[in-house]
Structure 1
């Protein structure tokens, strides 16, 4: 046979071998089996894997037991390049675990054997962890860092570890006493539900300490002697991250406590039993930054050890496989002034409905106080409330009118009533007759003439209102704020009665007390204020912080049913100018000197400039109203809000006067 013939035969053989399964050396099947094994181990479920000489169910139980201590963390597992020798294949499995702040990586070797047309995995504990012997499992030892503080202006400690006592029944101390009787006595002493606490004590194990309540050490009225008179009862000292008082900025700051089962499950391994985590407010938003990360050690040890046996083996008998260093959390620095915040809360203490006071520095945007009153029931009305602003929105109207060529001395018409498309608008009750008819824009603003501003609707478009609002820092993003907030919503398109309603801060126009303070502050500054609350947001949290939030279904607001705030622009296209702001400040000062807030003239210090707002809402007759007032006082801008409060001047006005007077 010639060379060409031999070459042809060889080529035919190669072609046939490439197309026939019988010519495959088994590599493809082995690789598929290796990938299946890697995927199953990564899922921590090898129940569907075919093993050589090992029941898949038994293998799965052993795998679960080996990695139980790491639950709920799962590894990423990849199969590497396969080595094939006849009917046996070996393949590296590359593992990667996220443990605390570290990453545990290692490589093991898996063996596969061919049985007929099938590749079977050979079970070996060392396939899971290098050097792991049969009968060994993993265990962990963790150390949690103290939670970092939340700091205020001048690095004042807003939230820090403060002494507390855990009051409860220590069951080993009961001796022959009746657990139910002791639990009932203690519950009545500390003011918790006796029936529920009795049930907790009875359900707990014989060595348990069952906490009834945790009390601040500072100022507690229940003494150790009173507690000690109850058989089995005791108070155990501890420290918890707490604000100065139970109510201090609670809606804004949130709380921190031991993680519950649901929080641990949702954390993806970041939280463990006994860890402290944040709930609500800044504590939850910046939880990772404040919490830091646990220091974790991973050991290999004999299965089935008791706690006592494990403790005895700390210095021997346990092999350290991995260690992630503990990382202490970073304190969260804020602009909140503890004295100003407490003052705001004191002023609101007796207000029944939902309420808020926000105070900020126009010069820097620093938020000094964001207080939500007791009637807010834990909701952050100050930053997240969504309400019709009423006549405080006339600051926006006036800017739009000034941009159309008017000045505070321009003449406007202020009739007693005005009808638009069948809807009659009127001025607030008690409006002075002397300010009806042809009046200056300043006078109409000072006495808050609704009809004068609605009369301007044909000269001021809805788009111009939206533009003027953003020029004053309203309904734009707040990238420097560092906290969840609603910065307002002003529709850019409205006609008829809806546009008329917008001219007096109703319809679909919405603001939060924070947005109202920003608006007033922008007048004082002469340029838009960008509010700032958090000074050092962590990289992972800052992306979700700040900006104008859209209305939330859970928010108790006056937002129209089904409404949704449009996305906020990043910044105003045309910022308010110093000249425009000066004209607005002139009219706000007139509200005090000649309008209906003359009571603010006696506030000591710099002259006060203000604007009141009474926002009607709902279908009642007469309609319910929200009470607003905003003011500037030197380098301080303040918004006061009371939900369903009545008139801004008579309800929110006195609260503002008290706040400004005491603030000094």
Structure 2
């Protein structure tokens, strides 16, 4: 090879090497440039997270600024300005002005805590809300004639694209306030209050009872819990009170460090259910009662008496009449009788020379079943089945419904009595809730509740006072419970409970017409008991000397259930 060729090859090799290096640099530079332009995936996510974090911080800061401006205006007595920072300017300004006019607090301060994120509600989102925050705050004041008073509350800040607002409701200004209420100084009894399940003063005169001129409880819960209600104080004192804005009436006192108040008594009464029951009794001119319970817990939701004074709802002792057929049916079902089994319903049934009959001496057609007899409340059909039971059957079955035990409810109650039968005649009368069977409306509401719940749960009115709730010694077979539920529904759809037909909640019921006394013709109490399939409530209606369960107690029960569905205006 010549030197010239050798040199030429070296040049070629050098050019190849330089070309490869150049291409590599171009490729590397392109990749590096691309990475410089778009960034690494990890860095992009990091920057997005930083942006979100910064936006959240700014959102919190906005909420805190809005709260600060609202509180500043409130603290300085600028009620209209404070109201403008809320979603209800006029209402907020009016309540703040009322509170300060009534209390005249001096000094007065508000310490605001840190914001915490809250879930935006559906209605807020509909209105364009993007975020919501809860702001805790503490109010400190000194009130003439009362002294120092401190309380804690929370405000809700709602953010939209347009503005941030403080959501106004009375409970934001003070957690105990409701619509139509304010705070004021009043000379009030230092005695504790009897409260409903919502924490308001219980509106049920018969349950609450009376206090004499010396401040001592004489009847009802006032008497039973006199020591607790009276507390260490005596007489009255100037106190900050929840006050009705329209009437100026002091509703109940608020506790302050210097006030020596008695302890409140908390009951399970639901004010809406109690109101529905009391309103339904307006239809009745004779003595009557309605009781409602929550089957799953035993909470007594309502106990209305008309006229007020005698608590027939809890301590009245009445023959339950055909409402007791729920218990008799449980015994018959346990004996093997099925709802679809044939059960004759003749005009009369004779037992040891004593004639039993049905109301107005009705009969059911041939081929009628146990279900039919229950739905139409046929006495003769039930008495005709007396041979399926022995003298202890009804007492034993009644015990599975809690009857005959000693109930620890937190108040005085009559807990029912179903004695062991002494002979066939006694048993026959007991099968239709007559003879020696006795119950109160509370007991019969609990009977319906036991069917709804599947087992007995002892009723209770003052949970804090219940130490030993009664436990039923017997339990109901699940199959028996299923059949009872089906049969109680038939009372409404096909039988004597037609007053409830078509009402919402799929009511289940049993009517009762209970004879009492020695008059001729015999006088009767009217009963209806039942429960709602779609809600956790069972009930009993009793009208003394009221006629028929279906035609007289039925419409009152229907009115009660309709009242439950009517919403109160806010």
In the superposition, the TM-score normalised over structure 2's length comes to 0.59
C-alpha distance in structure 2 between counterparts of 1:415 and 1:521, whole Å: 31
* Residue equivalent to 1:361: 294
Q: 1:627 aligns with which of 526, 536, 546?
A: 526
Deviation per CA, 1:168-195, whole angstroms, max 9, x where unpaired? xxxxxxxxxxxxxxxxxxxxxxxxxxxx
Call closer, same or farther: CA 1:295–1:351 in 2, change over 3 Å: closer
Secondary structure at 1:536 match in 2: helix
Choose which of 429, 432, 451 in structure 1 pairs with 2:380.
451
> What's the secondary structure of 1:343's corresponding residue?
helix
Structure 1 position 347, deviation (Å): 1.4
- Note if contact 2:283-2:556 (Cα within 8 Å) is conserved in structure 1: no
Unpaired runs of 5+ residues, structure 2, are 1-187, 236-257, 566-570
Q: Distance in 1 between matches of 2:472 and 2:463?
A: 23
2:471 pairs with 1:571: yes
Residues 186-197 of structure 1: matches in 2 within 5 Å?
A: none
CA distance in structure 1 between the partners assigned to 2:351 and 2:548 by the alignment: 24
* Contact 2:529 2:540 survives alignment (8 Å): yes
* Conserved? CA contact 1:145–1:292, under 8 Å: no
* Structure 1 counterpart of 2:397: 468
1:249 aligns with 2:249: no
Paired position in structure 2 for 1:392? 323
Determine the structure 2 residue equivalent to 1:87: none
Aligned match of 1:580 in 462, 467, 480? 480
**Larger helix proportion of the pair:** 2
Cα distance in 2, alignment partners of residues 627 and 452 from structure 1: 20
For residue 663 of structure 1, the aligned residue among 547, 564, 570 is 564
- Distance across 2 between alignment mates of 1:354 and 1:497: 31
Alignment partners' CA distance in 2, 1:630 and 1:613: 8
Quote the Cα distance in structure 2 between the aligned partners of 1:295 and 1:622: 56
Contact 1:527 1:578 in 2 (8 A): no
Q: Deviations over 1:568-596 (max 9, x none)?
A: xx532212233321110100000011112
The one of 548, 551, 555 aligned to 1:650? 551
CA contact (8 A) 1:414 1:438 kept: no
CA RMSD of aligned residues (A): 2.2
Q: What is the rounded CA distance, in whole Å, between the counterparts of 1:326 and 1:293 in structure 2?
A: 10
- Residue-by-residue CA offset, 1:387-422 (whole Å, 9 max, x unaligned): 000000000000001111122122222221011111
Matched, 1:426 2:357: yes
Aligned to 1:152: 196
Equivalent residue, structure 2, for 1:492:
420
Aligned partner (choices 238, 260, 265) of residue 332 of structure 1: 265
Match of 2:218 among 273, 276, 279: 279
- Could you list the runs of 5+ residues in structure 1 that have no partner in the other structure? 1-143, 159-247, 260-275, 297-324, 548-569
- The answer as to whether partners of 1:489 and 1:509 remain within 8 angstroms in 2 is yes
Structure 1 stretches of at least 4 aligned residues deviating more than 4 Å after TM superposition: none
For the residues of structure 2 that align with 1:496 and 1:361, how far apart are their CA atoms? 36
User: 2: distance between equivalents of 1:367 and 1:430?
Assistant: 37
Contact 1:150/1:333, CA 8 A, preserved across alignment: yes
CA contact (8 A) 2:457 2:471 kept: no
CA contact (8 A) 1:462 1:491 kept: no
Question: 2 CA distance for matches of 1:465 and 1:438?
Answer: 27
Partner Cα distance (1:353, 1:599) in 2: 19
Q: Say how many residue pairs are matched.
A: 355
Alpha carbons 1:527, 1:577 under 8 Å: kept:
no
Deviation at 1:250, TM superposition (A): 1.7
Contact 2:190 2:260 survives alignment (8 Å): no
Distance in 1 (alpha carbons) for counterparts of 2:189 and 2:514: 49
Q: Secondary structure at the match of 2:524?
A: strand
